[in-house]
Amino acid sequence: MTDPKKNKQLTKMSWIPIVRYRLIKFRATPYDSSLKGYFSSRDEKEFNRNCIKSKQRMAKIQNYKCPICNKSITDFTERLEVQEKVPVIYGGTRKYNNLQLVHRYCNKQYYKIFPLKGELPTKQQKQKGYKIIRQLRLAEIL
């Protein structure tokens, strides 16, 4: 049934697909290092099922890892932000080849180290900044 004023349609229950969730393997735990690939593939499927297409595409391009801290971006407990590799004020674009998904914490720390004022950081400066952010993440200083 369609609303004639707002031109919106009510959703029928039959339009919603049934999604069956696969059970975790018997005695499998995410802390077992031999099953790391199994759990990462499960997380990637869950991420692709629950995120919008643009984020799915960016995540696939960067192999589901945050380029700053090299940790997985498929964990839903952390918020993700879209960051420009080269900011627009320095001549960058808003196209996929210039965008990347990063954790909110990584994004904040990155812009504390490299504010948008002044010159664009060099590759070596970025690598040093990434190393500092990784050390902060490992030390769990949030």
Please report, rounded to a whole number, the percentage of residues in the chain having pLDDT higher than 70: 96
Q: What is the pTM of this model?
A: 0.74
**Predicted local distance difference test score (pLDDT) of residue 25:** 81
Range of weakest confidence among 14-18, 38-42, 50-54, 60-64: 14-18
pLDDT in tens, 53-94: 999 999 999 999 999 999 999 877 788 999 999 888 888 899
Domain boundaries, the chain: 41-138
Nearest to 47 by CA among 108, 96, 101: 101
Give mean pLDDT, residues 46-54: 88
- Distance, CA of 24 to CA of 107 (rounded, Å): 33
Q: Pick the closest to residue 50 from 25, 19, 28, 71 (CA basis).
A: 19
Q: What is the model's pLDDT at position 142? A: 47
Q: How far is CA 88 from CA 6, 27, 28, 95, 117, in A?
A: 37, 49, 45, 11, 13
Mean pLDDT is lowest, of 74-78, 117-121, 123-127, for 74-78
Please compute the mean of the pLDDT values over residues 93-109 and round it to a whole number: 92
What's the mean per-residue pLDDT of the chain?
A: 87
Look at residue 141 and tell me whether its pLDDT is greater than 70: no
Which region, left, alpha or beta, applies to residue 78 given φ > 0 means left and ψ of -120 to 50 means alpha?
beta
For the chain, give the longest Cα–Cα distance.
Answer: 59
